[in-house]
Amino acid sequence: MTTTTDRRDGAAPPRVRRRRGVQRWHVTAALAALVLAAAASLFVGVGDLTPADVLDLDEAQARVLWASRVPRLLAILLAGSAMAVAGLVMMHLTRNRFVSPQTAGTTEWVGLGIVVATLWAGGTSVFGKMVVGVVFALVGTALFVWLLQRLVLTDVVVVPLVGILLGGVVSAATTFLAYRHDLLQTVDVWMNGDFSGVLAGRYELLWLVLAATVVAYLWADRFSVAGMGEGFAVNLGLPYTRVVMLGLAIASVVTAVVVVSVGSIPFLGLVVPNLVTLAMGDNLRRVLPVTALTGAAFVLVCDVLARTIRHPYEVPVGMVGGVVGGVLFVWLLLRARRRVA
C-alpha cells in the first residue's frame, strides 16, 4: 500500500486518475444483489420448496422453511457480516492488513477451547462450548498482542506469520488432544464451516455477534483513530490501550461464537475487509457497513455454491470459501503488486 514512498515534493505530481472508488449506486446494486441471493437461498435444497409454494405452504413445507431454510439464511448473514467486521477491526487495531482472526491464531484457540470443553467441562452443550471458546479466543488474542509488543518487527508480513505459527502450535495441541481421546472427527466437524447443521434452536447464539457488530459500528471512529497509530491516537485524546483491547475482545468473541456455531470460514475475515478498504479507504464509519454486507454476501454465495455443486449432496461451505477466498486473495496480492510497480 505504499505507492509513494520515494516521491519527493516538487517532483511531478501524481497523475490524475479517473474518479475511482465506491459510489452510491454500487452499494445499492450490491444490496439488491444480496437481497436477491438471500431470497434464492431459501429455495435451494433437497426438500421441495418453490417461491410459488410460499403463498400456500403445506405442513411439511412450512417446517422446512421455518426450521431449516430461514434459520440457515439468518445464520449465514449473521456469521458472514460479523466475521468480516471482526477482521476489519483486527486489521485496524494491529495496523496490519494481513491480520485477521484466521491469521492471528484466534480460530485455532477456539478449536482448542472446543476440545477442552468436550473433554473436561463435560457439558457438550453449545453454550458451554461457546463460553470456553470465548475464553480461549480472548487468551489467545491477548497472547498474540503481547508477543507483538515484545518482538521488534520490521516487516509487515512477519506479524501474520507469527500469528499463523502460533495458530499452528495451538492447532497441533488440539489435534494431539483429540487424537488421544478419539475426537479427531468431532474436531473436524466443529471446525469446518458448514451451515447444513443449522436448524431452529441451534443457531440462536449467533444473534450475539449482531450485538458485537453494532458495538463495533458505534465505536467505528475510535477504531479509525486507533488505526492511525498510538501517537495520533493519544494526541486526539483516545484511551489507546483500552480501545485496542476492547476492539480485539470484540473480534475474539465474534470469532468464538461463529466458530462454535457454524465453524470456520477461511479467508472471510481477511479477504473481505481488504477488498472493501481497497475500494473505499479506511474510514471505518463509512467502510464498516459495506464490509458487513460484503461479508454476508460472500458467505451467502459460497453457501449457495456449496449446496448446488453436488446437488442433492452438500460440500462444506468452509471448503468453497477456502477456494473462492484463496483466489480472491491471490488476485488482491497481484493487484497490490501492480499498484506498487
The residue ranges that bind another protein (CB under 8 A) are: 1-4, 7-11, 13-14, 92, 95, 97, 220-221, 224-225, 227-232, 234-239, 277, 281-283, 285
Which is closer to another protein, CB of 28 or CB of 241? 241
User: How near is the Cβ of 155 to another protein at its closest, in Å?
Assistant: 13
**Closest separation between CB of residue 2 and another protein, Å?**
7
Q: How far apart are CA 158 and CA 26, in angstroms?
A: 35
Greatest CA separation for the chain: 74
User: Shortest gap between Cβ of 56 and another protein (angstroms)?
Assistant: 49
- DSSP letters along 65-122, please? IIIIIHHHHHHHHHHHHHHHHHHHHHHHHTT-TT--TTTTTHHHHHHHHHHHHHHHS-
Shortest distance in whole angstroms from residue 165 CB to another protein: 23
Nearer to another protein by C-beta: 227 or 266?
A: 227
| Nearer to another protein (CB atom), residue 201 or residue 237 | 237
- CA dihedral for 331, 332, 338, 341, sign (positive or negative): negative
> Alpha helix (H) ranges present in 151-239?
158-180, 184-191, 207-218, 220-227, 230-235
Residue 192, SS3 per DSSP: strand
> Nearer Cβ to another protein, position 27 or 44?
27
At 89, list the grid cell. Answer: 477491526
**DSSP single-letter state for residue 181:** T
| Smallest separation (angstroms) from another protein to the CB of 337 | 15
With respect to another protein, which residue has the nearer C-beta, 69 or 92?
92
